[in-house]
Amino acid sequence: MRPLTPSLFATALLFLTLLAPGALAGEGRLEINQVGIEASGGFPFVIDAPGSYVLTSDLDVPAGVDGLLLATSGVTLDLNGFTIRGPFLCIGGCPPGAGTGIARTPGSAAESSVHDGSIRGFASNCVSLGTQAHVARLMVADCGNNGIAVSSGSLVTHNRVVRTGRHGIAMSGSGFPAAFAHNTVDNAGRNVDEPAVFGGAPTAGNACDDGSCTRVVRPRYYLTVGLFDGDHGAQVCAAGFRMASLGELLNPSALRYDTSLGRTRSDSGGGPPYLGFGWVRNGNSGSGGSLGPANCSPEFGPVPWTSASNLDRGTTAGLEIVPSGGQLFESPDWVVFEQPCNTTHSAWCIED
Protein backbone atom coordinates (compact mmCIF):
# COMPACT_ATOMS: atom_id res chain seq x y z
CA MET A 1 0.00 0.00 0.00
CA ARG A 2 1.34 3.44 -0.93
CA PRO A 3 2.39 5.41 2.18
CA LEU A 4 0.49 8.59 2.96
CA THR A 5 2.21 11.76 1.85
CA PRO A 6 1.79 14.82 4.12
CA SER A 7 -0.89 16.21 1.82
CA LEU A 8 -2.79 12.89 1.67
CA PHE A 9 -2.48 12.49 5.43
CA ALA A 10 -3.91 15.96 6.01
CA THR A 11 -6.81 15.23 3.65
CA ALA A 12 -7.61 11.93 5.38
CA LEU A 13 -7.41 13.51 8.81
CA LEU A 14 -9.77 16.29 7.74
CA PHE A 15 -12.24 13.71 6.37
CA LEU A 16 -12.26 11.71 9.61
CA THR A 17 -12.62 14.87 11.67
CA LEU A 18 -15.72 15.95 9.77
CA LEU A 19 -17.33 12.56 10.39
CA ALA A 20 -16.82 12.57 14.13
CA PRO A 21 -19.54 13.91 16.44
CA GLY A 22 -18.17 16.80 18.42
CA ALA A 23 -15.69 17.80 15.72
CA LEU A 24 -15.07 21.52 15.46
CA ALA A 25 -17.04 23.27 12.74
CA GLY A 26 -16.79 26.85 11.57
CA GLU A 27 -17.26 29.59 14.15
CA GLY A 28 -16.02 27.22 16.87
CA ARG A 29 -19.17 25.09 16.81
CA LEU A 30 -19.04 21.32 17.36
CA GLU A 31 -20.45 19.17 14.55
CA ILE A 32 -22.95 16.35 15.02
CA ASN A 33 -23.81 13.97 12.17
CA GLN A 34 -25.15 10.48 11.50
CA VAL A 35 -21.91 8.77 10.51
CA GLY A 36 -20.02 10.12 13.48
CA ILE A 37 -22.75 9.10 15.96
CA GLU A 38 -22.86 5.56 14.60
CA ALA A 39 -19.05 5.35 14.75
CA SER A 40 -19.10 6.45 18.40
CA GLY A 41 -21.65 3.83 19.52
CA GLY A 42 -25.02 5.04 18.25
CA PHE A 43 -27.99 6.74 19.82
CA PRO A 44 -28.67 8.43 22.11
CA PHE A 45 -25.83 10.84 21.49
CA VAL A 46 -25.07 12.49 24.83
CA ILE A 47 -24.16 16.17 24.99
CA ASP A 48 -22.51 16.61 28.39
CA ALA A 49 -20.60 19.85 27.94
CA PRO A 50 -22.03 23.37 27.47
CA GLY A 51 -21.30 24.95 24.12
CA SER A 52 -22.45 25.50 20.57
CA TYR A 53 -23.33 22.50 18.38
CA VAL A 54 -24.49 22.20 14.77
CA LEU A 55 -25.96 19.35 12.72
CA THR A 56 -24.18 18.58 9.48
CA SER A 57 -26.54 15.81 8.34
CA ASP A 58 -29.99 14.40 9.03
CA LEU A 59 -30.17 12.04 12.01
CA ASP A 60 -32.22 8.84 11.63
CA VAL A 61 -32.98 7.49 15.11
CA PRO A 62 -34.22 3.91 15.78
CA ALA A 63 -37.59 3.29 17.45
CA GLY A 64 -37.80 3.59 21.22
CA VAL A 65 -34.49 5.46 21.53
CA ASP A 66 -33.73 9.11 22.29
CA GLY A 67 -31.96 11.07 19.56
CA LEU A 68 -29.87 13.67 21.40
CA LEU A 69 -29.65 13.60 25.19
CA LEU A 70 -28.71 16.84 26.94
CA ALA A 71 -26.93 16.02 30.20
CA THR A 72 -25.87 19.61 30.84
CA SER A 73 -27.22 23.15 30.56
CA GLY A 74 -26.06 26.03 28.40
CA VAL A 75 -26.27 24.16 25.08
CA THR A 76 -26.97 25.93 21.80
CA LEU A 77 -28.00 23.52 19.04
CA ASP A 78 -28.37 24.71 15.46
CA LEU A 79 -30.18 22.07 13.40
CA ASN A 80 -28.88 23.90 10.33
CA GLY A 81 -31.94 22.98 8.27
CA PHE A 82 -31.53 19.24 8.92
CA THR A 83 -33.99 16.77 10.47
CA ILE A 84 -33.83 14.61 13.59
CA ARG A 85 -36.13 11.78 12.51
CA GLY A 86 -37.66 8.85 14.34
CA PRO A 87 -39.90 6.17 12.77
CA PHE A 88 -43.07 7.01 14.77
CA LEU A 89 -46.19 8.11 12.89
CA CYS A 90 -49.51 9.39 14.19
CA ILE A 91 -51.91 7.16 12.31
CA GLY A 92 -55.40 7.48 13.77
CA GLY A 93 -54.18 8.42 17.21
CA CYS A 94 -50.69 9.03 18.58
CA PRO A 95 -50.13 6.18 21.07
CA PRO A 96 -47.29 7.29 23.38
CA GLY A 97 -44.17 5.26 23.94
CA ALA A 98 -40.43 5.60 24.42
CA GLY A 99 -38.09 7.82 22.47
CA THR A 100 -37.62 11.61 22.48
CA GLY A 101 -36.02 13.60 19.68
CA ILE A 102 -34.13 15.99 21.97
CA ALA A 103 -34.31 14.65 25.52
CA ARG A 104 -32.74 15.79 28.78
CA THR A 105 -31.57 14.29 32.03
CA PRO A 106 -33.29 15.58 35.21
CA GLY A 107 -32.26 19.12 36.05
CA SER A 108 -30.43 19.70 32.78
CA ALA A 109 -31.10 21.65 29.55
CA ALA A 110 -31.61 24.98 31.32
CA GLU A 111 -30.61 28.07 29.34
CA SER A 112 -30.37 25.93 26.21
CA SER A 113 -31.46 26.74 22.67
CA VAL A 114 -32.65 24.64 19.70
CA HIS A 115 -33.43 26.28 16.38
CA ASP A 116 -33.80 26.05 12.61
CA GLY A 117 -34.67 22.53 11.59
CA SER A 118 -37.14 19.67 11.83
CA ILE A 119 -37.84 17.10 14.56
CA ARG A 120 -40.41 14.41 13.86
CA GLY A 121 -41.46 10.85 14.51
CA PHE A 122 -40.88 10.23 18.24
CA ALA A 123 -43.25 8.28 20.48
CA SER A 124 -42.63 10.54 23.51
CA ASN A 125 -41.91 14.29 23.31
CA CYS A 126 -40.23 15.56 20.18
CA VAL A 127 -38.39 18.33 22.10
CA SER A 128 -37.88 18.47 25.87
CA LEU A 129 -35.86 21.30 27.43
CA GLY A 130 -35.65 22.90 30.88
CA THR A 131 -35.97 26.41 32.29
CA GLN A 132 -34.95 29.58 30.42
CA ALA A 133 -34.82 27.61 27.17
CA HIS A 134 -35.29 29.00 23.67
CA VAL A 135 -37.00 27.02 20.88
CA ALA A 136 -37.31 28.76 17.53
CA ARG A 137 -38.13 28.06 13.89
CA LEU A 138 -38.71 24.32 14.17
CA MET A 139 -41.00 22.02 12.21
CA VAL A 140 -42.26 19.47 14.76
CA ALA A 141 -44.52 16.58 13.77
CA ASP A 142 -45.74 13.11 14.81
CA CYS A 143 -45.04 13.15 18.54
CA GLY A 144 -46.69 10.61 20.83
CA ASN A 145 -46.68 12.96 23.82
CA ASN A 146 -45.96 16.73 23.61
CA GLY A 147 -44.46 18.40 20.58
CA ILE A 148 -42.37 21.01 22.42
CA ALA A 149 -42.01 20.88 26.23
CA VAL A 150 -40.21 23.62 28.17
CA SER A 151 -40.31 25.03 31.68
CA SER A 152 -40.56 28.47 33.31
CA GLY A 153 -38.80 31.47 31.84
CA SER A 154 -38.49 29.91 28.37
CA LEU A 155 -39.25 31.45 24.98
CA VAL A 156 -40.99 29.51 22.18
CA THR A 157 -41.28 31.35 18.86
CA HIS A 158 -42.00 30.81 15.16
CA ASN A 159 -42.56 27.05 15.36
CA ARG A 160 -44.95 24.81 13.41
CA VAL A 161 -46.30 21.82 15.37
CA VAL A 162 -48.64 19.17 13.92
CA ARG A 163 -49.99 15.79 15.06
CA THR A 164 -49.22 15.27 18.74
CA GLY A 165 -50.68 12.90 21.32
CA ARG A 166 -50.96 15.61 23.96
CA HIS A 167 -50.14 19.33 23.79
CA GLY A 168 -48.47 20.80 20.75
CA ILE A 169 -46.58 23.19 23.06
CA ALA A 170 -46.44 22.53 26.82
CA MET A 171 -44.98 25.25 29.06
CA SER A 172 -44.86 24.18 32.69
CA GLY A 173 -43.06 25.28 35.82
CA SER A 174 -43.75 27.80 38.56
CA GLY A 175 -42.59 31.39 38.85
CA PHE A 176 -41.92 33.46 35.74
CA PRO A 177 -44.01 31.89 32.94
CA ALA A 178 -42.67 30.84 29.57
CA ALA A 179 -43.49 33.20 26.70
CA PHE A 180 -44.67 32.13 23.25
CA ALA A 181 -45.31 33.97 19.99
CA HIS A 182 -45.89 33.37 16.26
CA ASN A 183 -46.44 29.61 16.59
CA THR A 184 -49.01 27.50 14.74
CA VAL A 185 -50.35 24.25 16.18
CA ASP A 186 -52.89 21.83 14.80
CA ASN A 187 -53.96 18.22 15.27
CA ALA A 188 -52.80 18.24 18.90
CA GLY A 189 -54.33 16.17 21.69
CA ARG A 190 -54.99 13.12 19.54
CA ASN A 191 -54.76 10.71 22.49
CA VAL A 192 -56.43 12.82 25.18
CA ASP A 193 -58.69 15.84 25.00
CA GLU A 194 -56.13 18.49 25.90
CA PRO A 195 -55.55 21.96 24.41
CA ALA A 196 -53.01 22.59 21.66
CA VAL A 197 -51.09 24.98 23.93
CA PHE A 198 -50.71 24.60 27.69
CA GLY A 199 -49.36 27.26 30.05
CA GLY A 200 -47.16 30.18 29.11
CA ALA A 201 -47.97 33.80 28.30
CA PRO A 202 -48.44 35.01 24.71
CA THR A 203 -46.31 37.99 23.72
CA ALA A 204 -47.67 38.07 20.15
CA GLY A 205 -50.24 36.22 18.10
CA ASN A 206 -50.39 32.43 17.76
CA ALA A 207 -52.74 30.19 15.76
CA CYS A 208 -54.20 26.94 17.08
CA ASP A 209 -56.87 24.97 15.27
CA ASP A 210 -58.74 24.32 18.55
CA GLY A 211 -58.82 28.02 19.52
CA SER A 212 -56.81 27.41 22.70
CA CYS A 213 -54.12 30.00 22.02
CA THR A 214 -54.38 33.76 21.70
CA ARG A 215 -54.13 34.92 18.10
CA VAL A 216 -53.38 38.50 19.14
CA VAL A 217 -52.05 39.90 22.37
CA ARG A 218 -55.46 40.49 23.91
CA PRO A 219 -56.60 38.49 26.92
CA ARG A 220 -59.69 36.39 26.33
CA TYR A 221 -62.84 36.82 28.38
CA TYR A 222 -66.25 35.20 28.40
CA LEU A 223 -69.61 34.96 30.16
CA THR A 224 -70.19 31.47 31.51
CA VAL A 225 -72.95 29.35 30.02
CA GLY A 226 -73.73 27.87 33.44
CA LEU A 227 -75.61 29.75 36.17
CA PHE A 228 -74.33 30.03 39.74
CA ASP A 229 -75.37 31.59 43.02
CA GLY A 230 -73.09 33.95 44.93
CA ASP A 231 -71.28 31.09 46.67
CA HIS A 232 -69.63 29.91 43.45
CA GLY A 233 -66.07 31.00 44.30
CA ALA A 234 -63.39 30.84 41.61
CA GLN A 235 -64.10 27.31 40.42
CA VAL A 236 -66.60 28.29 37.71
CA CYS A 237 -63.97 29.64 35.27
CA ALA A 238 -62.06 27.36 32.93
CA ALA A 239 -58.40 26.55 33.51
CA GLY A 240 -56.27 29.61 32.77
CA PHE A 241 -59.15 31.99 33.56
CA ARG A 242 -60.37 33.69 36.72
CA MET A 243 -63.42 35.69 37.73
CA ALA A 244 -63.18 39.15 36.13
CA SER A 245 -63.50 42.51 37.82
CA LEU A 246 -65.65 45.30 36.42
CA GLY A 247 -62.58 47.48 35.86
CA GLU A 248 -61.04 44.81 33.61
CA LEU A 249 -64.18 44.66 31.45
CA LEU A 250 -64.73 48.40 30.94
CA ASN A 251 -62.70 48.44 27.71
CA PRO A 252 -63.68 45.27 25.84
CA SER A 253 -61.79 46.41 22.71
CA ALA A 254 -58.60 45.51 24.61
CA LEU A 255 -59.96 41.98 25.15
CA ARG A 256 -61.10 39.11 22.94
CA TYR A 257 -64.39 37.36 23.64
CA ASP A 258 -64.03 33.56 23.62
CA THR A 259 -67.09 32.25 21.82
CA SER A 260 -65.98 28.63 22.32
CA LEU A 261 -66.30 28.96 26.11
CA GLY A 262 -68.78 31.78 26.56
CA ARG A 263 -72.48 32.37 26.28
CA THR A 264 -73.58 33.55 22.82
CA ARG A 265 -76.78 34.38 20.98
CA SER A 266 -77.74 33.93 17.34
CA ASP A 267 -76.46 37.39 16.40
CA SER A 268 -73.53 37.65 18.84
CA GLY A 269 -70.87 37.33 16.13
CA GLY A 270 -67.49 37.40 17.83
CA GLY A 271 -68.60 39.42 20.85
CA PRO A 272 -70.47 38.94 24.10
CA PRO A 273 -74.28 38.62 24.13
CA TYR A 274 -76.37 41.76 24.47
CA LEU A 275 -78.15 41.86 27.84
CA GLY A 276 -75.94 39.04 29.07
CA PHE A 277 -75.51 39.71 32.78
CA GLY A 278 -73.13 37.93 35.13
CA TRP A 279 -71.51 38.13 38.53
CA VAL A 280 -68.48 40.41 38.48
CA ARG A 281 -65.84 41.44 40.99
CA ASN A 282 -65.94 45.11 41.93
CA GLY A 283 -62.53 45.80 43.45
CA ASN A 284 -63.79 46.31 46.99
CA SER A 285 -62.99 44.47 50.18
CA GLY A 286 -65.46 41.91 51.43
CA SER A 287 -68.96 43.24 51.77
CA GLY A 288 -72.38 41.79 51.32
CA GLY A 289 -73.97 45.22 51.22
CA SER A 290 -75.15 47.74 48.70
CA LEU A 291 -74.45 48.24 45.01
CA GLY A 292 -70.78 48.78 44.24
CA PRO A 293 -69.20 47.07 47.23
CA ALA A 294 -71.64 44.15 47.07
CA ASN A 295 -69.79 40.87 46.47
CA CYS A 296 -71.71 38.15 48.30
CA SER A 297 -69.62 38.11 51.46
CA PRO A 298 -71.51 36.39 54.28
CA GLU A 299 -72.84 38.86 56.82
CA PHE A 300 -70.51 41.58 55.61
CA GLY A 301 -67.55 39.25 56.21
CA PRO A 302 -64.08 39.46 54.64
CA VAL A 303 -64.34 36.65 52.06
CA PRO A 304 -66.08 37.64 48.78
CA TRP A 305 -68.26 35.25 46.80
CA THR A 306 -68.85 32.78 49.60
CA SER A 307 -72.49 33.53 50.38
CA ALA A 308 -75.69 32.18 48.85
CA SER A 309 -77.95 33.99 51.31
CA ASN A 310 -80.85 36.18 50.23
CA LEU A 311 -79.71 38.62 52.93
CA ASP A 312 -76.46 39.33 51.09
CA ARG A 313 -75.99 41.02 47.73
CA GLY A 314 -73.59 40.68 44.83
CA THR A 315 -72.77 42.77 41.76
CA THR A 316 -73.74 41.74 38.23
CA ALA A 317 -72.88 43.54 35.00
CA GLY A 318 -73.81 43.33 31.34
CA LEU A 319 -73.89 45.28 28.10
CA GLU A 320 -77.05 47.27 27.37
CA ILE A 321 -77.78 49.83 24.65
CA VAL A 322 -78.80 53.05 26.40
CA PRO A 323 -80.67 55.75 24.36
CA SER A 324 -78.98 59.12 24.63
CA GLY A 325 -79.06 62.55 23.01
CA GLY A 326 -82.35 61.94 21.24
CA GLN A 327 -80.90 59.07 19.20
CA LEU A 328 -82.45 55.67 19.13
CA PHE A 329 -79.16 53.85 19.72
CA GLU A 330 -75.70 54.42 21.11
CA SER A 331 -72.87 51.98 21.57
CA PRO A 332 -73.50 49.51 24.41
CA ASP A 333 -72.67 50.60 27.95
CA TRP A 334 -71.90 48.42 30.94
CA VAL A 335 -74.94 48.40 33.21
CA VAL A 336 -74.53 47.22 36.81
CA PHE A 337 -77.19 45.67 39.06
CA GLU A 338 -77.22 44.45 42.63
CA GLN A 339 -78.66 40.94 43.02
CA PRO A 340 -79.46 38.73 46.02
CA CYS A 341 -76.76 36.11 46.47
CA ASN A 342 -79.24 33.23 46.43
CA THR A 343 -80.19 34.00 42.80
CA THR A 344 -78.34 32.34 39.94
CA HIS A 345 -76.47 34.14 37.17
CA SER A 346 -73.61 33.61 34.77
CA ALA A 347 -70.15 34.85 35.79
CA TRP A 348 -67.61 36.92 33.88
CA CYS A 349 -64.23 35.20 33.43
CA ILE A 350 -60.96 36.66 32.11
CA GLU A 351 -57.73 35.03 31.02
CA ASP A 352 -54.88 35.01 33.56
Q: What pLDDT, in 10s, does the model give residues 51-87? A: 999 999 999 999 999 999 999 999 999 999 999 999 9
Q: Cα(169)–Cα(179) distance, rounded to whole angstroms?
A: 11
State whether 158 and 305 are in the same domain: no
pLDDT digit string, tens, across residues 271-291? 888 778 899 998 776 555 444
User: Looking at 185, 208, 231, which one is the last position of a domain?
Assistant: 208
Does residue 3 lie within any of the structural domains? no
List the Cα angle 118/123/129 in 5-degree steps. 60
Residue 327: per-residue pLDDT: 54
State whether 60 and 189 are in the same domain: yes
Does residue 11 lie within any of the structural domains? no
Q: Which helix (H) or strand (E) holds 9?
A: helix 6-19
> Which residues, in sequence order, are CB contacts of 41 under 8 Å at separation 6+?
none
Q: Is the pLDDT of residue 328 over 80?
A: no
Does residue 213 lie within any of the structural domains? no
Does residue 6 lie within any of the structural domains? no
State whether 340 and 271 are in the same domain: yes
CB < 8 Å & 24+ apart, contacts of 329-338: 332/274, 334/246, 334/249, 334/250, 336/246, 336/280, 336/291, 336/292, 337/277, 337/291, 338/290, 338/291, 338/294, 338/313, 338/314
User: Looking at 154, 187, 208, which one is the last position of a domain?
Assistant: 208
Does residue 4 lie within any of the structural domains? no
Residue type, 221: Y
State whether 204 and 332 are in the same domain: no
Q: Is the pLDDT of residue 312 over 80?
A: yes
Does residue 289 lie within any of the structural domains? yes
Please state the domain count of the chain: 2
Residue 117: per-residue pLDDT: 97
- pLDDT band at residue 300, thresholds of 50, 70 and 90? low
Does residue 282 lie within any of the structural domains? yes
State whether 133 and 22 are in the same domain: yes
Helix (H/G/I), strand (E/B), else coil: 253: helix
pLDDT digit string, tens, across residues 229-252? 999 866 799 877 899 998 888 887
User: Looking at 150, 183, 208, which one is the last position of a domain?
Assistant: 208
Domain residue limits at 260: 218-352
